[in-house]
Structure 1
Amino acid sequence: MDVLEARARFQELRKTDGPVSPSELDRIWAALATVRPDDILGEWKGGEFRTGHPLDGMLEEANWYGKTFNSVHDAKPLICRNAAGELYSNLELGQGEASLWTIEFRGEPTATMVYDGRPVFDHFKWVDDTTLMGIMNAKGVPGEGPFYYFFLERAPEGPLAGTPAGEDS
């Protein structure tokens, strides 16, 4: 699969309401370009692929909005909406926040978000200039998975709230 085919298929799959095959997502991943941490700084709106992973639907239940990368040492992995619809960094769910590193995954060095409070890594690759594909990997997960697959789109301009869970902004 070349990068143009991968991008087209990615866009089709992200509109799918039903289950998506992890092996198809892996083929798309293999065709995409790697990412440098400094290139993805900013605010991102997220979504997930339903693959049958145990985490499927969990972020939706938490009212997950996306991720914010203020700097390589200041990443907010779980920007969620509170009952009033305001955005905040869900420190409880993420057990803290995160940082960005270049880490090898599947033989390629790419931008990876390392969680502060959990043995979790979110690896990223470019779909296009405004879209990232992500694969969540964690300690104890075998090399073949199962992995959690998600995507991020650059958010519209404007600051996201970064107040800790439960605090009013």
Structure 2
Amino acid sequence: MLTSSHPVRRRWDELRAQEGPVDIRLLDELWGDLETVDAAQVLGSWKGFAFPTGHPLERQLTKSRWHGKRFASAHSAQPLICTDDDGNLFSDLESGRGEASLWNVEFRGEVTATMVYDGMPIFDHFKRVDTDTLMGVMNGKPELVLADGQHFYFGLERE
């Protein structure tokens, strides 16, 4: 477990607290310093947030009232848990074009837990900040996930 005094955790906390815009290069550097995580270790419900980089997905997730992700098992993952008008959580199957599954996939030369969307050529790769905190980066077909050549970065905190 990384304590608040650990340099990587300190960088995470500083970027997490930043109102924006967050420099994508700092997120790339932090990603490179985090530990990989096995798909079996991310099971559960997670509250999510977007790092404010100006990526268009930030607006889409805000509009859909994105709450987080839920991983019931390796073959049952819900990438877009959202909040309805009454405050209830639901899996947004329409926006996500279905749900997803968890795999251990290579990304940037490392094998780490990755959520593979069922209905789109999109992957969410995860690395561990600590046992209850993950950093995510969305990858896939460039026209779907890249904005000005930049990936979408987000965080997940275990509920």
Partners of 2:39 and 2:134 lie apart in 1 by 12
Normalised to the residue count of structure 2, the TM-score between the two structures is 0.91
Partners of 2:131 and 2:46 lie apart in 1 by 12
1:50–1:56: 8 Å Cα contact kept in structure 2?
A: yes
What residue in structure 2 maps to residue 81 of structure 1?
A: 83
How far off is 1:77 after superposition? 0.3
How far off is 1:50 after superposition? 1.2
1:7–1:28: 8 Å Cα contact kept in structure 2?
A: no
Over 4 Å off, 4+ runs = none
What residue in structure 1 maps to residue 120 of structure 2?
A: 118
2:19 aligned residue (17, 21, 25): 17
Any idea what SS the aligned residue of 1:57 has? helix
Note the alpha carbon deviations across 1:67-96, whole angstroms, 9 max, x for none: 000000000000000001000000001000
What residue in structure 2 maps to residue 47 of structure 1?
A: 49
What residue in structure 2 maps to residue 146 of structure 1?
A: 150
How far off is 1:57 after superposition? 2.3
1:96–1:117: 8 Å Cα contact kept in structure 2?
A: yes
Any idea what SS the aligned residue of 2:56 has? coil
The alignment's C-alpha RMSD in Å is 1.6
Equivalent AA in structure 2 for residue 152 of structure 1:
L
Any idea what SS the aligned residue of 1:85 has? coil
1:67 aligned residue (66, 69, 86): 69
**Paired-residue identity, %:** 55
Alpha-carbon spacing, 1:105–1:9, altered in 2? closer, same or farther (3 Å): same
How far off is 1:131 after superposition? 0.2
Partners of 1:10 and 1:105 lie apart in 2 by 20
How far off is 1:146 after superposition? 1.2
What residue in structure 2 maps to residue 161 of structure 1?
A: none
Partners of 1:7 and 1:48 lie apart in 2 by 17
Question: Could you list the runs of 5+ residues in structure 2 that have no partner in the other structure?
Answer: none
Normalised to the residue count of structure 1, the TM-score between the two structures is 0.86
How far off is 1:145 after superposition? 4.0
